[in-house]
Structure 1
C-alpha cells in the first residue's frame, strides 16, 4: 500500500495530499489510520481539503471523467480503476481551487498570459517587461510616477533609467524600487522572490517595513512572515526562463515537476511517491514540456503514460 508523502504545501498540493489519503484509506491498516488522523489534526486547512476531496470523489462528474480515462486503456483490476478515479479527481480538484481565484485577478490586470505563454511588453517610459507563463500584470505610468503590479506569476523587468521617477513594483508582501536595472519578480502562493540580473534593487517587506538592498546575482524570498536569507550568485538559474529554459541542479524531482506544471497546459501527475525525492539535474527548453517529461522519465527509470492534456509518471 502506498501512503501519501506530505510536504509544506499551497492549496492545490493540499488537495493532492487529501486525494492521496482517500486512496490510501481504501485498504488502510491501524498504523495508516493513525497517521491519517495526525495529518487531519494538523490544521483546519487539512480538514477542509479532505472534505473537499471527499465531496469531489462522490460526484457524478468524477465518475464520468474516470470512465473516459479508463476507456483509453485495456480492462484491468480494481486498482487501475482507482487510478483512473484519482486522475479524474485531480483534474476536478485543481479546477475548483484555481479557477475562481484567478478570474478575479485577471479582471484587474492589463495583461494576462496563458499557461505556457510568454509575452514581451514595452511600457510608456521605455522600460521593457517579459511576462512568464500564467501571469497577470498591470502598470500605471505618467509624468510623476512609474508603478507596476504583478498580480500573479512572474515577470522580468529591464527598467529605463529615470532619476526623477523611481520605478516601483508591487508584488504581494513586497514593494520593489529601482531607478534603472534589470531584475525578475516571482509572486506565487503569497510568496515573492526577487532575482537581480544587473544593477541595484531595494526591496521593502510590507509586514515589517524592513528594507533589503540587492545587487547583481542576488536573490531573496519574502512571504507574509518576513524575509528569508539573501542568496548570492544563484540568480542565473532563476532567470533562465527569460531565455526559455528550465534549469535545475541536484533538485528533488517533486520540485521540478511542480515548476514544470506551470508551463504545461494540461495535467502532470506523479503516481509514485518515492520518485518525488529522487535528485535530478537538467537544462531543458520550456517550449516543449512533454519532451522534458520524457527525459525525466528516462533519467529516473520511470514510465511515462501520455494522454491528451494528461501526463502520468510512475
Structure 2
C-alpha cells in the first residue's frame, strides 16, 4: 500500500524531531512519541523524512545553525536585538540565509506532498526442520542444527540473536536449544529465546520447558519467562509473559520492561545501521521500559541522550560509543 504524507503530518513530525532533541525531554516524552509514531504509518513516514531533513540541514549549514533555525521554525524564539546577546546579532545574517534554505526546502516537501517508499520490517525467516519443527529467526540471528538418532540439538550462535521454536512432539528424541552454557529442553512445545549481551530470556507460549544453567535448573510453563544473567551469580528469575509481548518482534516491535540498556542495545544493534558500543558499564546498567520499533532504530538512538543521562560519540572504527554523561 502506498501512503501519502500531508502537511499536518509533516508539521507534527517536525515538532516531534525538535521535542526529542530538547535537553529537557523526558522518558515520558519518548513514550508519547512512540504512541504517536505507532498510531499511523503516515506518522512513521513523516517522522523519518523530517529526521533525515534535520541531519541534512546540519550537514549543509552546521549543527549549531540548524538548531537555531529549528527554534525559529518552531516559534520558540526570535532574533530580537534588544533581548538577544551580541553573539546572536553577529550570527543573524548567517541564520537568516540558513532559515531561507530550510524553509524553502521544507516548503517544497509540503507542497509536493512527498510520499517516500515504505521500508519493510526486518524479515522474519522461518526454517522447517527435518522432524517437522520450525524455527522463526529474527534479524542477524543464526541457529545451527545437530540432529542424531536420540537427540535434536540446536545451537544459537554468536553473542546476540532471537528465535522462536515450534517443536514437533517426540518424547524419545528430546529437543534441546543451547545458548552458551544454558540449555532449554522441550518435548512438544513452543518457546522464544532471546540472547542479548550477557542476558538470556526464554519465554514459553505453549507447554513446558526445562531450563538448565550452571547454577541449577527450573521448569517454565506457558505464559511465563525465565531470565538468566550469564555473567552474574544471580539465580534465574521467572515472571509472567504474554504471547503478544513475546512475539512482538515478529511485527517489528521490541518490547521491554525494566531491562538493562546494554541488553536493549544488543537487540537494537541487530536492526540498526549505526551499531552502538557501550564503553561505560554504568550506562549499560540503566533500566529501560518501553517499545523500540525496528523501523525506527535510528530515531530511538538519536533520542537516547535526551531521555537518559548518557552521551553518544562517533567511534573511529565506525558506529557510536555510549557513555554515562559526566
User: Which structure ranks higher in relative contact order (CA pairs < 8 Å, sequence separation ≥ 6)?
Assistant: 2
Please identify the structure whose Cα radius of gyration is greater: 2
